[in-house]
Structures are given as C-alpha cells and as structure tokens.
Amino acid sequence: MASVFLNGGLVERDAARVSAFDAGLQHGVGLFETFLATGGGGEPEDVEARGLDEHLARLAGSALELGLSESVRPAALAEAVRRTVAASGLTRARVRVTLTGGDLSMLEVAGRSQHTPTVMVAAQPVTAYPAEMFDKGVRVTLADARANPLDPTAGHKTLNYWWRLRELQNAAAKGAGEALVFQVTNHLCGGCVSNALVVTGGRVLTPIARGEEAGVGGGGAMPSPVLPGVTRAEMLGACERAGLAVERRMVTIDDVLGADEVILTNSSWGVLSVVGVEREGIGEEKPGEVARLLRSRWDVGAGGSA
C-alpha cells in the first residue's frame, strides 16, 4: 500500500524519488520530524498522532528561522500525515516528515524570492524496542563530539545527524543504549537522539533548550544548542502536575553523576531510564520513581506520538 506522500500526492514506496540536485542531498539542507501515529487502514480523519500540532509547529518555526521556507503550512502537513498513515495500512506507524530546500542551488537562494521545497511524509512500522530497556534501564557513554551554541542550526532538527549517528554507533559498540552530548562549555545537552531530565533531591533539572534562554538567563543569555523536545515538554508538564519542581538550567557532569535518576525522552521510545554513565552508576542503578511515573504517562498515549 502507498506509504509515502511526496510533493502533494501519495506514491508507492518504490516510486518515491527525489531529484539528485535536491538541496537535502547536495548540501544536507533540510529539517525533519518523527512521531508515532495510529489509524492506518481507516479514513484520514480516524488517524491520531498525539503531539502532531507541536511537531509541525516546531518544523514550521525552524523553517522560517533558518530561511528554508516562509510558506510551511502546518494544517496542510497535518492533512498529509493523516492521508499517509491511513493509506499505509499500519495500525501503529512511525511517521517522518521531511522538508528540504528542493531542487535548486542553495547558493542562489539569496537572489531568489521564491523556491519550492521538497515535502515528504513517510509511514513505517514502529521501532520495536526490547522490554528489558525499560524494565532495567540502559547504560550510556559520553560522546566525543561537542555541540556549539553559536551554530545557528543547533537546537533545530536538521538533516545533519551524521555525527549523532556515529556517536550512537560508538555507544552501541560498548554495549550502551545512548551517548550523552555536552556543549563546548561542558554543560549537558542531552542524548544523541533524546532530551535529558536529571532528578535530584525531588527536583527535575533539564538543560535549557532553544527558545528558553531569555526566560532563564535574561536578554543576554547564550543561545542554546538543545532541541526543545516535544516529548520533553509533555513529560515536564507531567512532572509539574505531580508536584515536582522543574528547573531549566545549565547542567554539569557532576549533576548527572550525582543524580538520583537520569531520564531520556524522545518521540520513539518515550521515556527511558539511564542506570549508568560509562563505569559510574546512577542512583540505585534501576528505573526510579519518577521514571516509572513518566513511563506510565507515556504508556497512556503509547498509540500516538509525543
């Protein structure tokens, strides 16, 4: 069944083709969002994707801020998502929305008032994670790469994931489930493909994300290279509703190693406990109370996205 929406219409997976001159391929110019959805095989209006509006708003905001496109319409993208999932036949799907600079030379963008981006929506089977990951938690490594807060594309979900995937490969080679990424200032960003929550003394610390700088550090705050995760926002809200104090601030390695719990969030696995960093244990080296609480909140809407 058709599982790809490309530039205005549904096509079969094998027929989904992008130009060899697309800016996403030529220069890595593009953005993407991933999330979970349900309702394949039914009508588009039956499709549910929790967090869809937040994901698409983030995509449109990044496209505008980075100069990729001023014409991204979240409502139209949402309809494309529903059509794609419905046509896929998948009762649960992992959806990826990709937006690139289109078939043009990016060197010409400054002199052109209009260009047409490539828009692709793909629905695939959800990633199957072993239950042991959530029951026992995972160990993580420390990434060698550092995020640069002065990089204007940092904190956006761009196509440049190569360095992140390399760090994940290095972590997997050591038997770890993720790698923690730090800024050039040696403050925590999160995982390669996840946001981080650090639980200590009844408080939930989280690195300042893009867009939160002024609210935390005032008008002169340094830009943040941390992605404002949709699942992160949902889980922070769950923490606050549970009466836990949430603090957005610069987080150090000492905060991490001295934490009661470290939790990683993303829109694929939801909520994942970290029980050790390299050779150091975290807390009691098993999923803690806050992780179990948040996991239960995630499971309530596990059929949709976050």
CATH 3.20.10.10 in the chain is located at 131-300
pLDDT number for residue 306: 30
- In the chain, DSSP finds a helix count (H) and a strand count (E) of 9, 14
Closest CA to 195 of 136, 295, 256, 266: 266
Given a contact cutoff of 8 angstroms between Cβ atoms, the answer to whether 231 and 306 are in contact is yes
Superfamily of domain 131-300: D-amino Acid Aminotransferase, subunit A, domain 2 (3.20.10.10)
| The pLDDT value given to residue 104 | 67
DSSP conformation class of 147: E
* β-bridge partners, 277: 140, 280
CATH among 3.40.50.620, 3.30.360.10, 3.30.470.10, 3.40.50.460 for 4-125: 3.30.470.10
Q: Can you give the pLDDT at residue 13?
A: 87
Which residue intervals of the chain bear CATH 3.30.470.10?
Answer: 4-125
Q: Contact at 8 Å (CB) between 286 and 136?
A: yes
pLDDT digits (tens, 9 = 90+) for 256-279: 999 999 999 999 999 999 999 999
Residues of the chain with pLDDT under 70: 1-2, 104-115, 219-220, 301-306
Q: Please tell me the predicted confidence (pLDDT) of residue 31.
A: 98
Per-residue b or e along 243-275, where b marks 16 or more CB atoms closer than 10 Å to that residue's CB: ebeeebebbbeebbeebbbbbbbbbbbbbbbbb
How far is 139 from 195, CA to CA, in rounded Å? 15
Convert the pLDDT of each residue in 201-245 to its tens digit: 999 999 999 999 988 877 667 899 999 999 999 999 999 999 999
